[in-house]
Structure 1
């Protein structure tokens, strides 16, 4: 067993065990305790440690990026509810702001590399994370990525970050990540987006779109939103705040909650590859 997984939700924890049993993620131990009960010594002997592990999005992303199971790394995407637009907006005052507990383990164990993500609206949270990690001597890199730019049919816009223990300079990829994926220019489609008849859709102005760090082109046609993907195709996005009921699916509430809290491994894998390139 090379990996340690910490996940407090029993349903998601069993999902992790199923993925391990099928060989989809690194073999390891699933710990259902709260992170506040985890002690630094509990992590001795593990090559990889994944906190707030959910249904294994980060471990899968590492495999997609070509990261061997026996290569040391930590991952952790702390709960987004304190900073999400769909939450209560309590921010650092929310009891689910668990970065300080996670940071304590990082401080005591000093992993060589750390990866994580947070909702794109949590800029102040990211400032805290960067400050804490840099105070320990980590080189820190971060960038906003929407999942649609990595082949997904949805936004799921997130800040991805990483910390590298061997250095103090900030990491910046030498070329934009969209170019790395070979995205063509599509000048014709870009001009179509700028046409007055398309607009930007209810609740989405161009300014709001750009201010959140989105790089892909977006257009609205007859009230439906479309995003330009890396392969040059335009794909329709679901309306905001849609709640899928999944009628007829066994244990659908637990499954949808687990999926809703999961990260999309595709942009995570792209970020891992870009970060490794910047380091190497």
Structure 2
């Protein structure tokens, strides 16, 4: 809805950085399924076009169907009150409404890791109720060598009817399918369950055998306080369990060897950023220190300082954006 971001998207389209299309500046609550007819790619809450750009990075054909949605994270972010479904910015139900009506073959969503304990099960159950096998995985920005952690949960929903039909086509063509008996389902299994029949997400909220077989939930973060658990992750985000001196050292950019603010806005830092964009390698990781049990790279992010035009909207836009290189890795896997 932000006019500044909508113009940003139009500029990216004009420069052929993202696929051509129409920028809809309405509130999603005003969008009807009829408005979406004829569109293959639909990127909701598009921000500065991160998902559309990720499609280009991954070699995703412009005419191949995919829906994406980085639905608002404010209801789930540890930076806010975490009111979840009680927050009026919780717009997943609106996105689900459109998915349920149009039934795209593939959906890719993104949110902060705070969604996991506060709403992820509901999102997955909603997708399954609409006939999608769903899966969630946490991939941080540093997984693609970006110089920051930025944990995000990525949600994939694949239409069961679409997947089953593809398996049967491959089987009939002599393809190598692990579960060949599934490829011999009757054609009726292409259709969503009729009223009164068992749906993909049954009454007890358990996922069906087919949903488990296709996508499972093996990669969802485990519960508990151990390494990788939800409680551990929450503590890490709040920096609990560390000595006070270590916390001060972590947040002090002028600490010896950590790189000072004076180094953050020079030509060298810009070269490092450009090198990462070209190669995916962040050379500051090679000389990084370990502080409070974490690896801390040399500083190298140019600051949005005074004199930068439209500084505040640019900062807001960048803060709400995804890391396209992470989404591109997921899209490459989905292509395969």
Question: Taking structure 2 as the reference length, what is the TM-score of the superposition?
Answer: 0.62
User: For 1:128, what is the secondary structure of its paired residue?
Assistant: helix
Higher strand share: 1
Which consecutive unaligned segments of at least 5 residues does structure 1 have? 1-7, 177-204, 214-219
Counterpart in the other structure of 2:60: 67
User: For 1:29, what is the secondary structure of its paired residue?
Assistant: coil
Change in CA separation of 1:32 and 1:18 when aligned onto 2, cut-off 3 Å: same
Counterpart in the other structure of 1:169: 211
Which consecutive unaligned segments of at least 5 residues does structure 2 have? 164-209, 220-225, 235-245, 252-257, 259-280, 289-294
Counterpart in the other structure of 1:136: 130
Q: Does 1:259 align with 2:253?
A: no
Aligned counterpart for 2:30 among listed residues 37, 41, 46: 37
User: For 2:328, what is the secondary structure of its paired residue?
Assistant: helix
Q: Does 1:104 align with 2:97?
A: yes
Post-superposition shift, 1:222? 8.7
In structure 1, what is the Cα distance between the partners aligned to 2:49 and 2:298?
Answer: 24
Q: Does 1:147 align with 2:127?
A: no
The answer as to whether partners of 1:61 and 1:266 remain within 8 angstroms in 2 is: yes
Change in CA separation of 1:64 and 1:245 when aligned onto 2, cut-off 3 Å: closer
Q: How does 1:191-270 map to 2 (within 5 A)?
A: 211-212=232-233, 223-224=249-250, 233=286, 234=288, 236=296, 246-270=305-329
Post-superposition shift, 1:157? 0.6
Counterpart in the other structure of 2:20: 27
Task: Show CA shifts across 1:20-43 (max 9, x none).
Answer: 000000000001000000000000
In structure 2, what is the Cα distance between the partners aligned to 1:23 and 1:70?
Answer: 15
Post-superposition shift, 1:113? 0.4
Counterpart in the other structure of 1:160: 154
Counterpart in the other structure of 2:200: none
Post-superposition shift, 1:236? 3.0
Counterpart in the other structure of 1:86: 79
Change in CA separation of 1:113 and 1:238 when aligned onto 2, cut-off 3 Å: farther
Change in CA separation of 1:74 and 1:88 when aligned onto 2, cut-off 3 Å: same
Question: Taking structure 1 as the reference length, what is the TM-score of the superposition?
Answer: 0.74
Aligned residues: 230
Counterpart in the other structure of 1:54: 47
In structure 2, what is the Cα distance between the partners aligned to 1:248 and 1:56?
Answer: 25
Task: Show CA shifts across 1:161-209 (max 9, x none).
Answer: 1111134424559x99xxxxxxxxxxxxxxxxxxxxxxxxxxxx96789
User: For 1:50, what is the secondary structure of its paired residue?
Assistant: strand
Q: Larger deviation: 230-239 or 96-105?
A: 230-239
Post-superposition shift, 1:88? 2.1
In structure 1, what is the Cα distance between the partners aligned to 2:229 and 2:147?
Answer: 20
Post-superposition shift, 1:276? 3.6
In structure 2, what is the Cα distance between the partners aligned to 1:221 and 1:37?
Answer: 45
The answer as to whether partners of 1:121 and 1:212 remain within 8 angstroms in 2 is: no
Post-superposition shift, 1:212? 2.9
In structure 1, what is the Cα distance between the partners aligned to 2:247 and 2:233?
Answer: 22
Post-superposition shift, 1:143? 0.4
Change in CA separation of 1:92 and 1:236 when aligned onto 2, cut-off 3 Å: same
**Cα root mean square deviation, aligned:** 3.1
User: For 1:23, what is the secondary structure of its paired residue?
Assistant: coil
Post-superposition shift, 1:230? 9.1
